[in-house]
Amino acid sequence: MGLQKVLEMGGYAGYVWPAYGLTAVVLIWNTWAARRSEAEAQRSAQRRNEIARETRS
Amino acid sequence: MWLWFHKLASPPHAYRLLGKMAPWFGWPALFLILLAAWWGLFKVPPDYQQGDAFRILYVHAPSAWMSMFAYVVMAVAAAVGLIWRIKLAHAASAACAPIGASFTFLALATGSIWGKPMWGTWWVWDARLTSELLLLFLYLGYMALRASFDDPQRADRASAVLAIVGVINVPIIHYSVQWWTTLHQPASVTKMDKPSIALVMLVPLFMMIAGFQLYFGWAISRRLRGEILRRERNAGWLKEAN
């Protein structure tokens, strides 16, 4: 079975590949969004800590 | 027992624990998802009726499963938060929503892509599709409701009520294909007798579901850590926690 035949997906290439591609995009977006949300919260919490330290001293 | 429970629910402890757990979810998830995709795309023989188009099953069914699973987790966490007033449970509920919403979108979109060649249409207003679309609106409504409050405690309570009321939609989605005449096919795997799908086709399906579950574990760990920090006015413990 050649590569060409595999990629054709029995004539359903236009449906199978976009479905898998979309899944990859959504999972990657989700991964990025989760990391970003955590990193933003860490930054702002650290900033709050610094302000608290500055006001104490 | 209660002492252990309180320790677990304390923000610094939960924050550290989630940080330690996340990689244990993330890497196996990546491995399983890639393996299942490769297996489902290239190893499994084509379906005798649907040909190669049935391979969409391996991304569609696990997404649909996760869309409901994430909602139940969200609603249970909301109920725990509401009944026992545990802030961490409310935070977990809030962390579930964007992940669940994205899986719901994925289930709808991949289902639509699958529907076109098999049913001849991208969309029909049958019970399964409509109730799944309602699930997406429940997630979006939940997030919009949270965002509309300045006070996190009021946001927690109001959104928890919505999450709990909305959970009624989950069994409706699941049984919709039995209760109503739908274009969507009935369940093949979760049947009382044996599943009406060949074992060779089931292996990558279960692998993908396991991969998605682990991925959910990773994503919720990350998001919940963010939620915990956002709720802590004074996170003096943060420095040693990292």
Alpha-carbon gap: A49 to the closest alpha carbon of chain B (Å): 6
Taking CA atoms, what residue in A is nearest to B107?
A23
Q: What angle do CA B132, B94, B235 make, to 5 degrees?
A: 165
Whether A1 has a pLDDT exceeding 90, the answer reads no
What count of other Cβ atoms lies within 10 Å of the Cβ of residue B170?
A: 18
Each residue of B90-111: pLDDT tens digit?
999 999 999 999 999 999 999 9
pLDDT tens sequence across B133-168: 999 999 999 999 999 999 989 999 999 999 999 999
Going by C-alpha positions, the residue among B166, B158, B107 that lies closest to residue B139 is B166
In this predicted structure, what is the pLDDT of residue B189?
75
Task: Check if A15 contacts B (Cβ < 8 Å).
Answer: yes
Residues of B in contact with A4 (CB under 8 A): none
Confidence at B16, pLDDT banded by 50, 70, 90: very high
How many residues are present in chain B? 242
Q: What is the DSSP letter of A11?
A: G
Lowest mean pLDDT among B131-140, B164-173, B213-222, B223-232: B223-232
DSSP code per residue over B39-75: IIIIISPPBTTTBGGGGGHHHHHHHHHHHHHHHHHHH
Query: Quick check: A51 contacting B, CB < 8 Å?
Result: no
What pTM did the predictor assign? 0.92
DSSP helix/strand/coil, B168: coil
| pLDDT mean across residues, chain B | 91
Q: Give the residues across from B84 on adjacent strands.
A: none
Kindly report the backbone phi and psi dihedral angles of residue B114, in degrees, each rounded to the nearest multiple of 5, phi listed first: -75, -35
The letter for the amino acid at B233 is R
d(CA B141, CA B136): 8
Residues of A in contact with B213 (CB under 8 A): none
Cα(B94)–Cα(B75) distance, integer angstroms: 10
pLDDT tier, B78 (very low <50, low <70, confident <90, very high otherwise): very high
CA distance B88 to B80: 10
Nearest to A15 among B33, B53, B235 (CB): B53
- Confidence band of A47 (pLDDT split at 50, 70, 90): confident
Partner B contacted by A20 (CB < 8 A): yes
Residue B187 Rama label (left phi>0; alpha psi -120 to 50; beta):
beta
- A3 confidence band (pLDDT: 50, 70, 90): confident
Q: pLDDT by residue (tens digit) across B182-198?
A: 889 888 876 656 667 88
Please state, in angstroms and as integers, the Cα–Cα distance from residue B72 to each residue in B24, B68, B97, B201, following that order.
23, 6, 11, 27
| CA dist., res. A8 & res. A6, Å (int) | 5
Give the pLDDT band (50/70/90) at residue A55.
confident
Mean pLDDT of B201-211: 95
- As a whole number of angstroms, the distance between CA B94 and CA B73 comes to 10
The amino acid at residue B37 is: A
Dihedral sign, Cα of residue A24, residue B26, residue B197, residue B44 = positive
Contacts of B105 in chain A (CB under 8 A): 26
pLDDT, mean of residues B44-71: 95
pLDDT of B242 higher than 70 = no
Q: Does B110 touch chain A if contact means CB atoms closer than 8 Å?
A: yes
Task: Please report the residues numbered 37 through 56 in chain B whose beta carbons come closer than 8 angstroms to any beta carbon of chain A.
Answer: 37, 41-42, 46, 51-53, 55-56
Instruction: Give the span between the Cα atoms of B19 and B26, in whole angstroms.
Output: 11
